[in-house]
Each structure stands twice: as structure tokens, then as C-alpha cells.
Amino acid sequence: MSSPTPQPVTGPLSPEFVPFDIDAIAGHCGHVVVFAEADSGLPRAARRIDKLTRGAVSRAVASADFAALDQGGALVLAWPTGLQAERVQIVRLGSRPDKASLRKAGLSIGKALSKTPALICADATALPDMLQAAALRAYHYQAQKSDPKPDFGPVTVMLRDIDKAPDCADALALARAVHLTRDLVNAPANVLTTTSFAAQISDMQALGLKVEILEEDELHRLGLRAMLAVGQGSDSPSKLAILHWQGAQGAPLAIVGKGVMFDTGGISIKPAAGMEEMTMDMGGAAVTVGLMQALAERKARANVVGLVGLVENMPDGRAQRPGDVVRSMKGDMIEVINTDAEGRMVLADVLWYAQDRFAPRAVIDLATLTGAIIIALGHDKAGVFSNNDALANAFLKAADSMGEGAWRMPLGANYDKLIASRIGDVKNSGGRPAGSITAAQFLQRFVKPDTPWVHLDIAGVALTKTDSAHAPKGASGWGVLALDALIRAEFEDG
């Protein structure tokens, strides 16, 4: 059966930066953004528009509606008299906004962007945070439309100090990496297969990444039998993709992503309702790939290796069965209780391979692993499991600094009883009680002693049915921002 030809990924915001020109504001057609604060003098651009509109901005800023806005919220004046603009967006922002307010302002701007040209009259001192948030919010996945339209018109940013424009480069590069992650998660499984995903990863060598793709024969030779067992019922070949950014010396940080391109549940098949969303079961791999692009684009002074296990979990005459026993690369014998508990089997082998080959200073894995984490935390926070308090706390701090929700969950030896196997060494499922914890406890078996490790269960945050903190409904790209912030704070030289 033929597959649709993949379309280009969604293009993120790429603003043009120009010197501040107060006289150009009146003639701009489309969307104009200015900033103001109640009980404060209007900044220069807002003051100019206020004069042209005969006090409309002053009246809006003095209104109860404006006073009710949080910092970063906005009011819109439609078709204002005295301007060519279709609308003026007045963003509430004080003279010394914090990062959260700047992000909220950017989200307000990004959500309001349309196909008309936009002019942002920048007065904020920390423009990168605001533009990054605007870029993150201005996202629409159209790759599978028969006639995709431009997401939004050109965006121009007026700067008082044009020399500050380069300061935004890293922030916008990170937004592009999040867009890549979203595009990957949103892509249907007949377009983004194990083979086409591996080919896209290979193309990232142009960024300076070292890329290896290990095929099934090599995986057999290395002993990644748990991972291979998951994919043995699919016509799509299983692959292990390795992306290495060596911007520093010393042992690397290893990022491991679950890449189940589509998850039917295998022989333990899922209910039909909602199964179409299982195209997102490669969300951990997508975040890993997006992060590696971000590190390469900003030339991070860090040594990071990303590993993604790419498989498809299908029911077939060759598929693994409940009751099978599989030897992992580590050597542990895994009793397969539920073939829908497949992600942890992929991660078990890739985690062991990452440690065996690269001897990393720390390991972080990401996976859309359990529905149980959604029951526990909903769609606002990812579950954080760790054997190392310092690394866990550093990640939680990084996630909070970027506005990405995360919450520490427990681990403990008592949970091992739920996954003890009568005929093997461990079961791949302990059933419904403490489901996300027993999954993490299973993974911990494949982390070597004294290796700092964090497991991120992103099942609730990778794809949402409503708008999330940085994105419209759909793929969120959660994790790229937090992991990049963690690497900047804890794993970069200099």
C-alpha cells in the first residue's frame, strides 16, 4: 500500500528585525502590537497610536477590562480610526516584567497572529523570552492538508536597539526544535514510519551531528531482544538511531527516547476508540530528536548523545504473545504479561546499550509510557522518577523555569513485588495498581548502579485535547525546553 508523500514541516516564526520608526506605525496594514501598563505612562509606540486614534489606547488601558488582565494578557482594538491597521493589540506588561510575564505576553501575541502582516513595537527588555513564546504558540500542523495555507503573515519587530536582534537567535532556534518535535508527533504512522523517521534523522548530519542507524541484524547481534520482540509483528523494521553532539569533552549525558511509531497494543490489543492517537507513542523519540537539533543549532558546549528505539507494535502471526519470556540485552529474562506494556521493553534495551557503549555521566529517558500517569497527574504535568535527588531537583527547576509542568513521583523496593515473575526474572506489567510507578521500577532494573537517572513519563503532556501552556491542542513538544535548560545549567562547559 502506498503512503502519502510527506509534506514540509510547519515553518516557525521567523521575524524581521528593523530599527524603531515611529512614523511607520500609522501606515502598517494588519496587526500592530504595543505594550502598556495601567497607572503608568504609555511607552513611545503606544503613545503614538493613542494620539493617532484620539485617545483610544488611553481609554482601553484605563478600562476595567484591562485592569482585570494578568501580566502578559492583551486587549484588541479592531479597525481603529486614524490607522491603516486592522487591529491593535495592547499587551499588559510592566517596565520590569519577569520571565513568566514575558512568556504570557508572547503567548498572547502568538495566539493572535493571523495571515495579515504583524508589527511588534518592542519595548520589553527581555525580548528573546517573549518572541520564543510567540513562536511556540503560533503553530498549526498542516502537513497532511491537500492545500496547506501559510500559517501567518510576515512578522516585523521594531527594536530601539537593533544590535540586540541577534540575542533572539538561540530562543528562536529552540522554538524551531519544539516545532520539529510537534511535527513528528502529529505525523500519521503511514507517513512517519521507522524507515522514514530514521532517514529524517540521518539528514540531521548536516547540522554537525554524528548519526548512526543500527538495523535489525546489528540489533540481533548486540542482543537487543526485548526491543526486537516488540517490533517482530510489524512489516516496519525496528531500528536504533543514535545522534551525538560532542560540543565538549568528557562522559556524555545520554537522552533515551521511546519511539513506538504506532501502538496497537499488539496481541493485547487496545480498544478501537481513540487508537488513532497512538501515532504519538513515539513522543519520547520526537523530544530527543528535537533536543538534539536545538543543541546542534546553538552549538552547545556539551557532550550529549541521543538514542531512540524505533519500532511498531502490531498484532500478527509473528507478534510476541502474552506469556512469552524474552532475554534482554542486560540478560534479565522478561515475562511478557501484556504486549501493550511494550515501551518499557524498548527502553530496557536502549538504556542498557547507552550505558554499555557510552558510559554516560547521567541518563534521562522520555516515554509516553503509561495511562496511569494521566490518572495521577492529568495533562498538566509529566511524571518524574529518579534514583538521584540532585539530578531530579535540577530537572524540576529547569522545567519550572521554562513553564513546563513536572512532578516528582516515588520509587521503592516494595513496588518490585508487583512485577516479580514466577517463571522469569521480572514481569513487564504489574497490573493497574501504581501502574506508572511499577513501569518506572521496571526501568530502574536496567540502570547501572551509581548512574544518575531520570525517567520522564510524558503520556499526559505529549498530546493534549485542549490548548497547553505553549501550544494549541495537539502535540505540545513538552520536554525540549526543559531539557535544554537543564543542559545549559548543569552539563555545559564554561
Catalytic machinery residues: 270, 344
Helical residues (DSSP H) of 233-366, grouped into ranges: 283-297, 343-358
Burial 312-345 (b: 16+ CB within 10 A, else e): bbbeeeebbebebebebbbebebbbbbbbbbbbb
Judged on CB neighbours under 10 Å (0-12, 13-18, 19+), 462 is buried
Contact present, 135 and 172 (Cβ < 8 Å): yes
Distance CA 214, CA 346 (A): 14
Judged on CB neighbours under 10 Å (0-12, 13-18, 19+), 26 is middle
Distance CA 143, CA 11 (A): 10
Distance CA 182, CA 139 (A): 9
Q: What are phi and psi of 41, to 5 degrees?
A: -65, 145
Angle between helices 169-186 and 127-137 (to 10 degrees): 20
Written as nine digits, the cell of 66 is: 484591562
Look up residue 5 and give its DSSP letter: P
Written as nine digits, the cell of 164 is: 540586540
Distance CA 16, CA 93 (A): 22
DSSP string, 411-448: --GGGGGGG--SSSSEES---STTHHHHHHHHHHTTS-
Q: Tell me whether strands 31-36 and 118-121 are parallel, antiparallel or unpaired.
A: parallel
Contact present, 462 and 476 (Cβ < 8 Å): yes
Cα three-residue angle 458-476-214, rounded to 5 degrees: 65
Give 106-143 as a 3 state SS string. HHHHHHHCCCCCEEEECCCCCHHHHHHHHHHHCCCCCC
Residue listed under C-alpha cell 497610536: 49
